[in-house]
Amino acid sequence: MRIHSCHFCSSPIYPGHGITFVRNDGKVFRFCRSKCHKAFKQRRNPRKLKWTKAFRKSAGKELAVDSTLTFAKRRNVPVRYNRNLVKTTLNAMQRIEQIRRRRERAFYKNRMKGNRERQFALDKKLVEENPELLRMRDVEQKDKQLKEQAKEDQEMESAEENDESEMETTDEEQEEEKLAAKILLKNKRKTRVKF
């Protein structure tokens, strides 16, 4: 069993998944899902759709040119089974995967470098062009302060009320006890059902 890659988006196609289309000249096209098959039938260009690997690679968003990517080529010359060769190949596959991951991470880091500064510059520009945004923020902050003050006042009042009404708290306690008793009863019932 071979894990093929989608003709359209390049994602892996596991056995039992996807659609295979054989053109009348014998070329085989494999698709991971109907989304890719439909797009192919509509003659969409995968390089122009942002969700495909083809787009990401042609737009420089992913590692495209690297020696670790050339190992997974299809070779048409059959190789005689050799235990040692298989062993070394398996080891090499793991090692190459490790290296590829590391390079990919480095590539990503490099690509994202300076994003924060760029975003900061953009934000600065936005604020400079629209000074009313800052004013809006001031209003928001004032609102927040007012709300907090109101909350504090309420808390003070409620604290005073608590001092006056100690009887109510006892009532609440009684209610809590009742609730606890109910829960206990429920639990007993449950255990009975189990037996």
CB of 15 to Zn ion, least distance (A): 16
- What is the DSSP code (8-state) at residue 49? S
Phi, psi of 4 (to 5 degrees): -80, 165
By beta-carbon proximity to Zn ion, the closer residue of 6 and 63 is 6
Does residue 21 contact residue 4 with C-beta atoms inside 8 Å? no
CB of 57 to Zn ion, least distance (A): 15
Here the tokens at position 151 are: 């909350």
By beta-carbon proximity to Zn ion, the closer residue of 51 and 120 is 51
CB of 42 to Zn ion, least distance (A): 14
CB of 110 to Zn ion, least distance (A): 28
Residues in Cβ contact with 121 at an 8 Å cutoff, skipping those fewer than 6 apart: none
By beta-carbon proximity to Zn ion, the closer residue of 18 and 63 is 18
Tokens 């050339």, located at residue? 70
- Residues near Zn ion (CB under 5 A) are 6, 8-9, 32, 36
By beta-carbon proximity to Zn ion, the closer residue of 44 and 103 is 44
Helix (H, G, I), strand (E, B) or coil at 137: helix
